[in-house]
């Protein structure tokens, strides 16, 4: 099996359409094997060094269990232990871990740290989340949409809420997969201009429409997928009261959901602040695929690991 076209997994913008197809194909195969209790130890004796500067449930557990199921080992390192860029330079950490492990996962605040780790590491670096991007989440989400909807091309995907890292990665992923994406955020909370520019370029090349609006009602109308995320991300706690007021009209509730298609699915990357960005009756309702998304982090990330490390012959 060939590797991905890039050394590192930092952004979907760096991936080719063929890369995404390969990830989804292998993820589907690995998911089936795991469900059928078939061994798939494609990364036997391989190791993953995981650096966590941010709290984590899904990323930590899915990567650690995923490496174990693939026959490898994952080691968690928190910021207190590593002191990335404080106790030791990022370059020195990257070079040292490259002598021990086969890949590095980092979950951090500044995106520049991910980029710098990749620059100095001789092994693949995986972006487990930065303040700019969350590519593992977005690809897992799109894999879930493919499972539920079949053909992706031409679907309308409505993202309601903060133009944050998840939103940025969903924009890149939509362009790669032929999905039309509409983002609805309050004024001043739209996705970053640098990401919008790149995503628009990707979308134009793929014949995909990506729109940025300030009206959730318009965005959700006739949508196949309705997606939301927390209004206040880690590191923005001081803004919580202000954000709660600014985002009050952007809640995904039954009144908003009824405007989407009858068979629309509802998505959230978790953790959810129930009663804020989404109501409990929606997240626990029949249209929700939230926990399917969470599960698929395991399968998609295992595919990413296997393709990055060339583990399957």
Q: Which of 13, 131, 137, 251 does the annotation list as catalytic? A: 137
Q: Is the peptide bond before 116 cis (omega within 30 degrees of 0)?
A: no
96 is in an annotated binding site: no
Angle, helices 17-35 vs 135-149, to 10°: value is 70
Q: Which of 13, 40, 60, 107 does the annotation list as catalytic? A: 107
Q: How many angstroms separate the CA atoms of 135 and 165, rounded? A: 9
84 is in an annotated binding site: no
Is 34 part of the annotated catalytic residue set? Answer: no
Is 215 part of the annotated catalytic residue set? Answer: no
Q: Which of 162, 167, 251, 269 does the annotation list as catalytic? A: 269
Is 229 part of the annotated catalytic residue set? Answer: yes
135 is in an annotated binding site: yes
296 is in an annotated binding site: no
55 is in an annotated binding site: no
Residue-by-residue DSSP string for 294-311: HHHHHHHHHHHHHHHTT-
Q: Which of 229, 251, 299, 301 does the annotation list as catalytic? A: 229
Which residues lie below 8 Å from residue 151, measured CB to CB, with a gap of 6+? none
CA atoms within 13 A on the CB side of 152: 23
Is 167 part of the annotated catalytic residue set? Answer: no
2 is in an annotated binding site: no
107 is in an annotated binding site: yes
Q: How many angstroms separate the CA atoms of 282 and 274, rounded? A: 10
60 is in an annotated binding site: no
**Residue 10 phi, psi dihedral angles, 5° rounding:** -110, -40
58 is in an annotated binding site: yes
Return binding residues for L-ornithine. 165, 229, 233-234
Return binding residues for carbamoyl phosphate. 56-59, 107, 134-137, 269-270, 297
Return binding residues. 56-59, 107, 134-137, 165, 229, 233-234, 269-270, 297
- The catalytic residues are 107, 134, 137, 229, 269, 297
């Amino acid at each position: 099996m060939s590797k991905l076209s890039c050394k590192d997994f930092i952004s979907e913008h760096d991936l080719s359409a063929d890369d995404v197809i390969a990830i989804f194909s292998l993820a589907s195969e690995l998911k089936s094997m795991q469900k059928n209790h078939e061994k798939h130890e494609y990364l036997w004796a391989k190791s993953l060094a995981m650096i966590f500067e941010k709290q984590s449930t899904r990323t930590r557990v899915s990567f650690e269990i995923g490496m174990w199921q693939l026959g490898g080992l994952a080691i968690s390192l928190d910021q207190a232990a590593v002191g990335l860029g404080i106790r030791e330079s990022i370059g020195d950490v990257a070079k040292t871990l490259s002598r021990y492990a086969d890949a590095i996962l980092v979950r951090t605040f500044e995106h520049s740290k991910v980029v710098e780790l990749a620059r100095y590491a001789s092994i693949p670096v995986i972006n487990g989340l930065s303040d700019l991007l969350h590519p593992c989440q977005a690809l897992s989400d799109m894999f879930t949409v493919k499972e539920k909807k079949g053909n992706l091309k031409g679907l309308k995907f409505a993202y309601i809420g903060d133009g944050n890292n998840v939103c940025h990665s969903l924009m890149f992923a939509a362009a790669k997969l032929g999905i039309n994406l509409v983002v609805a955020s309050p004024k001043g909370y739209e996705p970053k201009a640098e990401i919008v520019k790149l995503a628009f370029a990707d979308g134009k090349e793929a014949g995909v429409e990506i729109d940025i609006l300030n009206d959730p009602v318009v965005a959700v109308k006739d949508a196949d997928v309705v997606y939301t995320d927390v209004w206040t991300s880690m590191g923005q706690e001081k803004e919580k009261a202000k954000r709660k007021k600014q985002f009050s009209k952007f809640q995904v509730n039954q009144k908003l959901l009824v405007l989407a298609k009858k068979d629309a699915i509802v998505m959230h990357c978790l953790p959810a602040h129930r009663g804020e960005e989404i109501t409990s009756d929606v997240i626990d309702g029949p249209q929700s695929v939230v926990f399917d998304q969470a599960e698929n982090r395991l399968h998609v990330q295992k595919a990413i690991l296997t393709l990055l490390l060339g583990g399957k012959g």
